[in-house]
Structure 1
Amino acid sequence: MDKYDVKKAHRQLYAPSAKEFAVVDVPEFRYLAVDGQGDPNTSAAYAQAIEALYGVAYTLKFASKRTLDRDFVVGPLEGLWRADDPAVFLSRDKQAWEWTMLISQPTWITEEMVRSAIDDVAKKKAPPAIDAVRLHTMTEGTSVQILHVGSYDDETPTLDRLHNQYLPEHGLAFNGDHHEIYLSDARRTPPAKLKTILRQPVKPA
């Protein structure tokens, strides 16, 4: 049985350079999603969102393999980050951040399968955020991205370059939420070795 892996199927989107910004075209993807706000390091809602997302993601994986004979690798955790003032990302004012945490899903995962997986997880574990999990479809289109290696709190110089140098120099402006893709497991990886894709949808200024 071939096992679908979003990182391999869309390698150009999940394996960017750490040296230079790259312009990519991001097609439609489907995700499990949970919305929230606040500091991800201290917010109980954030931890509960992650627990619920992974519970549903693995339930879907096993159900797909069992009922459809189609297996897949559970995708990396991803996050959309937004705020009324984008400057809070540079100042790291995390209490002002709003977020949507995501895990990508293969195209054959349906709304009905997601609802069934949510019901199964609710019956077995009942994580607090389970009712907040939803299937979300998103097309980011033209985006600029780069790989950041290091602590999440060390992203500021790269984001400053993106916001205040690269985008103005190339006549581009924001066209959606700041998007991060977490390629490393923060529980097992030293901060200095964390790998995170930083992506920003853009449009002509």
Structure 2
Amino acid sequence: MAFDYKKEYKDLYQPKTMPAIVMVPAMRFVAVDGVGDPNEEGGDYAKAMQLLYGISFTVKMSKKSKNPAEHIDGYFDYTVPPLEGLWSMGEGVSGVDYAHKADFHWTSMIRLPEFVTDKIFAWAKASFAAKHPESDVNRAYLFDFDEGVVAQVMHKGPYDDEPATVAILDDYARSQGYELDLSDARRHHEIYISDPRRAKPENLKTVIRHPVVKVG
């Protein structure tokens, strides 16, 4: 059985629709930064997806390589974790404005297994680049993200309906003695549990996190 992060860490990937305060451990990601509307067909976000999934599956499928040099120490079979995104409206602006998606600043990312070292990541980038010379593989980088304390909730439904869920999440955090700690380093965070290409909008599941800090 392949290791499935969503099933093994249900508190992080399958929260309830009632908000909660959670401590998120440090994790390693492959990440790509960009600006603009993620819904733009053939846009920058779509190019970022090709990079993220391409590099992620290069690591996953290394087990099938006939070249012993490409076998990874400590490798275990796993399911590629869900896509995640950190969102803002640019430097110094707190939160996100869903009415102005063209102004989104985003970091899209996919979690990497613990056995992925700097060396393995460099190999995966080079291997993917060799097969896809049209891709700007240098945009992808290793991102060690220590998120810390967050308010978290599962949003069910279309992405455009998220503001109502976000309002509930933020109100809950304040009721528990926390205040929002959004900044350039700690941003609005989404984890896409559902595949929007396959799920109906009303059935989409998205984990939403906001960084918080205890008051007093």
Q: What's the counterpart of residue 80 of structure 1?
A: 86
Match of 1:22 among 3, 20, 23: 20
Q: Which has the higher helix share?
A: 1
Greater mean alpha carbon deviation, residues 129-138 or residues 58-67: 58-67
Do structure 1's residue 10 and structure 2's residue 9 form an aligned pair? Answer: yes
Contact 1:27 1:140 in 2 (8 A): yes
Secondary structure of 1:101's match? strand
If the length of structure 1 is used for normalisation, what is the TM-score? 0.90
Q: What's the counterpart of residue 139 of structure 1?
A: 146
Give CA-to-partner distance per residue, 1:111-149, whole Å, 9 cap, x none: 111111111111111343421111110111111111111
Letter in 1 for 2:158: S
Give the alignment of 1:51-130 within 5 angstroms.
Answer: 51-64=50-63, 66=65, 67-68=71-72, 69-83=75-89, 84-86=92-94, 88-89=96-97, 91-130=98-137
* CA distance 1:87–1:11, shift in 2 (3 Å): closer
**Cα displacement (A) at 1:162:** 2.5
Match of 1:41 among 39, 45, 61: 39
Q: Which has the higher strand share?
A: 1
CA RMSD of aligned residues (A): 1.8
Paired positions, count:
201
Letter in 2 for 1:132: R
Contact 1:34 1:100 in 2 (8 A): yes
Contact 1:35 1:100 in 2 (8 A): yes
Do structure 1's residue 32 and structure 2's residue 30 form an aligned pair? Answer: yes
Secondary structure of 1:108's match? coil
**Cα displacement (A) at 1:104:** 0.4
Q: 2: CA distance between counterparts of 1:192 and 1:52?
A: 28
The percentage of counterpart residues that share the same residue type is 38
If the length of structure 2 is used for normalisation, what is the TM-score? 0.86
Letter in 1 for 2:200: P
Instruction: Mark the runs of 5 or more structure 2 residues left unpaired by the alignment.
Output: 66-70
Q: 2: CA distance between counterparts of 1:142 and 1:25?
A: 4
* CA distance 1:87–1:55, shift in 2 (3 Å): closer
Q: 2: CA distance between counterparts of 1:186 and 1:5?
A: 20
**Cα displacement (A) at 1:98:** 0.8
* CA distance 1:117–1:49, shift in 2 (3 Å): same
Give CA-to-partner distance per residue, 1:47-99, whole Å, 9 cap, x none: 1001110000000111256514521111100001122433543x532122211
